[in-house]
């Protein structure tokens, strides 16, 4: 028996809710899905993401639905250090840290 894949969705103001619903509905019981919600007002520039992002992530895949570009970049860097793939659909990334398919 294979173990379930763990997916963590980072979202801002429920921006990934439809994707979470789809994963749970169509993925049936193949995935463990956890959300990290960032639902507070954010400053225009974030120099230190540690207030908003965890120090460590344990997941097989991270989905990034965070609207704030500074947090997305820092999330991508954290996941890269930890060897966790990140998908950030619809974003533009030139640093090669995340997979950014068009929406």
Please state the domain extents for the chain: 5-87
- Whether 34 contacts 8, CB under 8 Å: yes
| pTM metric for this prediction | 0.86
Q: For the purposes of burial, counting CB atoms within 10 Å of the CB of 34, is it exposed (0-12), middle (13-18) or buried (19 or more)?
A: middle
Tokens at residue 101, please?
A: 């398919």
pLDDT of residue 28: 85
pLDDT in tens, 4-42: 999 999 999 999 899 999 999 999 889 999 999 999 999
Distance CA 16, CA 37 (A): 9
What is the C-alpha separation between 45 and 50, in angstroms, rounded?
Answer: 13
Cβ atoms 67, 15 nearer than 8 A: yes
Strand bridging mode 31-38 / 5-12: parallel
Closest-CA residue to 89 (of 3, 7, 4, 9): 9
Mean pLDDT to the nearest integer, 36-59: 94
Fold of 5-87: Rossmann fold (3.40.50)
| Average pLDDT of the residues of the chain | 88
């Amino acid at each position: 028996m294979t173990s379930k894949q763990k997916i963590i969705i980072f979202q801002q103001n429920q921006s990934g809710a439809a994707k979470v619903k789809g994963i749970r509905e169509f993925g049936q019981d193949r995935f463990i899905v956890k959300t990290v919600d960032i639902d507070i007002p954010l400053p225009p520039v974030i120099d230190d993401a540690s207030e908003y992002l965890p120090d460590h992530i344990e997941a097989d895949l991270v989905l990034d639905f965070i609207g704030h570009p500074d947090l997305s970049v820092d999330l991508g860097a954290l996941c890269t250090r930890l060897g966790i793939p990140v998908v950030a659909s619809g974003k533009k990334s030139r640093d090669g840290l995340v997979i950014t398919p068009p929406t």
